[in-house]
């Protein structure tokens, strides 16, 4: 057994011997899993903001899968939103971006944000002051309709203007 003359070899032999003879003896205490339940107070900012909104600016624009570019149909809708905002200077808008349920939740959150930002840019470029626009995303978490088909997906890829 002791044919190893060098230091390393000697260690190898020792480890080998000890793994042959040792037996595992353990003692342990189980983990006490204390959990405290918390309730999220849902004082949503939205409910406060809705009050001074003109219904005229409520609109929804739709997008292609994994895209945040505005379609010609969307541009038409946004044009009338700009007109309504120009006629009602005290009105502010919230742009809420959404995605369909395909793909990952965080990527869709970012995608919803890009869609809302695309609408925001259009409004800004058409003369609407940035302090009248607030932008947010719900990703895929607040679908307009349920259902696993292209028709439902298309209705969920949207920006809601309120």
Partner 1 sequence: MRKILLILAFSNLLTSELILEITQGTEDPYRVAILKFEGDQKVSNDIDKIIRNNLMRSGEFNLFVNKDLLSLPNNETEVIFNDFRILDIDYLVIGKIAKDGISISVVYEIFDINKGKKIRTSTVYGIPNKNRQLGHYISDGIYEEITGMKGISSTKILYVTENKNFNLIVADADGSNEQILLKSNDPIISPTWSPDSKKVAYVSFETGLAKVFIQDIATGERELAIENSSQVSSPSWSPDGKFLSLTMYQDGNAEIYILNLKNKNLTRLTNHYSIDTESSWSSRGSKILFTSGRSGSPQLYELDLKKSNARPKRLTFEGNYNAKGSYLPNSEGIIFVHRSDSNFQIAMKYFDESFIRPLTDAQMDESPSISPNGNVIVYAITEKGMGLLSGVTLSGVKFRLPAKKGAVREPAWSGFLR
CB of 80 or CB of 104, closer to partner 1: 104
Residues 6+ apart with CB under 8 A from 108: 99, 100, 101, 139, 140
Nearer to partner 1, 84 or 95 (CB): 95
Would you say 38 or 89 has its CB closer to partner 1? 38
Query: In angstroms, what is the minimal distance from the CB of 158 to partner 1?
Result: 17
Which residues have C-beta within 8 Å of that of residue 105, sequence separation ≥ 6? 139, 140, 141
**Nearest CA to 158 among 122, 123, 118?**
118
Cβ contact 93:55 at 8 Å: no
User: What are the Cα distances from residue 153, in Å, to 31, 85, 95, 105, 150?
Assistant: 45, 29, 19, 14, 5
**Which of 8-16, 85-93, 99-107, 154-162 is the region at the interface with partner 1 (rule: CB under 8 A)?**
99-107
The Cβ of residue 151 has, within 10 Å, a number of other Cβ atoms equal to 8
Pick the binder of partner 1 from 1, 27, 127, 151 (CB under 8 A): 27
Binders of partner 1 in range 41-80 (CB under 8 A): 41-46, 66
Look-up of token digits 């925001």: 120
Tell me if 38 contacts partner 1 by CB under 8 A: yes
DSSP 52: G
Among residues 39 and 89, whose Cβ is nearest to partner 1?
A: 39
The pattern of x and - marking residues 104 through 123 that bind partner 1 according to CB under 8 A reads xxxx-xxx-xx--x--x---
Closest approach of partner 1 to the CB of residue 5, in Å? 30
In the complex, least distance from residue 1 CB atom to partner 1, rounded to whole angstroms: 19
Binding site for partner 1 (CB under 8 A): 23-46, 66, 101-107, 109-111, 113-114, 117, 120, 135-139, 141-142, 146-148
């Amino acid at each position: 057994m002791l044919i190893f003359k060098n230091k390393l070899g000697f260690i190898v032999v020792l480890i080998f011997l000890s793994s042959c003879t040792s037996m595992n003896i353990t003692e342990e205490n189980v983990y006490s899993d204390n959990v405290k339940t918390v309730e999220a107070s849902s004082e949503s900012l939205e409910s406060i903001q809705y009050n001074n909104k003109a219904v005229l600016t409520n609109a929804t624009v739709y997008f292609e899968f994994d895209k945040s570019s505005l379609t010609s149909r969307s541009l038409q809708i946004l044009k009338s939103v700009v007109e309504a905002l120009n006629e009602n200077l005290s009105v502010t808008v919230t742009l809420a971006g959404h995605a369909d349920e395909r793909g990952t939740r965080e990527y869709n959150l970012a995608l919803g944000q890009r869609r809302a930002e695309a609408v925001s840019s259009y409004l800004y470029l058409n003369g609407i002051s940035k302090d009248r626009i607030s932008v947010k995303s719900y990703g895929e978490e607040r679908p307009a309709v349920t259902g696993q088909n292209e028709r439902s997906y298309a209705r969920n890829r949207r920006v809601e203007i309120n």
